[in-house]
A and B are shown apart, each in its own frame.
Chain A
Amino acid sequence: RKEVEQDPGPFNVPEGATVAFNCTYSNSASQSFFWYRQDCRKEPKLLMSVYSSGNEDGRFTAQLNRASQYISLLIRDSKLSDSATYLCVVGGSNAGNMLTFGGGTRLMVKP
């Protein structure tokens, strides 16, 4: 089983739609959680951190469920510019306390 699992997609949605991604992680000792965004042929960039209480940044809402070991990302009012691959990232649990990246979920927002 992969340490961090995501549905690879693609998720094809129309502009203005609400879309949600889930991610599961295997190590219950994980301490930190992030969502990154990666555009085609570009490097990953931090989208937002994920806090236990849940957090929101504009149209983006991230939530963490420690009991079920999953993280979610909700995007409201999708824009064409939201088209990208979204990487779920978990860290702070292994010997090196490194971040572990999921394989990514691809989102395509269409006009």
Chain B
Amino acid sequence: GAGVSQSPSNKVTEKGKDVELRCDPISGHTALYWYRQRLGQGLEFLIYFQGNSAPDKSGLPSDRFSAERTGESVSTLTIQRTQQEDSAVYLCASSLDTSGTYEQYFGPGTRLTVT
């Protein structure tokens, strides 16, 4: 079946502009996660959504970052007034729930470059 999809695959933007990244999770997966991965670094958790519960925003690095999810479907991650340090691959993952029992499946990521 279809996996997690993300768009765009690559995004180049000028410093100070806003960007919006999109994630389509696997159908039926109630949990959705956003991570950031800088070049040569590990995964950095940003935010997760579980069903209709309030999202866990504890990993968002600043108030320039926000995310929304419509029900149990598409999610968008918005970065306002982008900075060069925001350059990274933004990965989305989904799982059946957040119990930790179920593995996460990742999308191919959006490579963001801020010039």
Chain A interfacial positions (CB closer than 8 Å to B): 30-32, 34, 42-46, 49, 87, 91-93, 96-99, 101-104
Q: Give the CA-CA distance A34 to B100 in the complex, in Å.
A: 10
Closest beta carbon of chain A to B115's beta carbon, Å: 20
Chain B's closest residue to A30 (CB) is B100
The one of B48, B50, B103, B108 in contact with A43, judged by C-beta atoms closer than 8 angstroms, is: B108
Contact A96 B56 (CB under 8 A): yes
Contact A98 B100 (CB under 8 A): yes
Closest beta carbon of chain A to B36's beta carbon, Å: 12
Contact A32 B42 (CB under 8 A): no
Contact A31 B106 (CB under 8 A): no
Provide the main secondary structure of the chain B interface. loop
Q: Give the CA-CA distance A29 to B107 in the complex, in Å.
A: 29
Contacts of B100 in A (CB 8 A): 30-32, 91-93, 97-99
Closest beta carbon of chain B to A18's beta carbon, Å: 26
What's the count of A-B pairs with C-beta under 8 Å? 51
Chain A's closest residue to B39 (CB) is A41
Chain B interfacial positions (CB closer than 8 Å to A): 33, 41-43, 45, 48, 50, 56, 91, 95, 98-101, 103-109
Contacts of A91 in B (CB 8 A): 100-101
Closest beta carbon of chain B to A73's beta carbon, Å: 15
Closest beta carbon of chain A to B73's beta carbon, Å: 20
Q: Give the CA-CA distance A30 to B42 in the complex, in Å.
A: 20
Known: A96-B48, A96-B56, A98-B48. A43 touches B109 (CB 8 A): yes
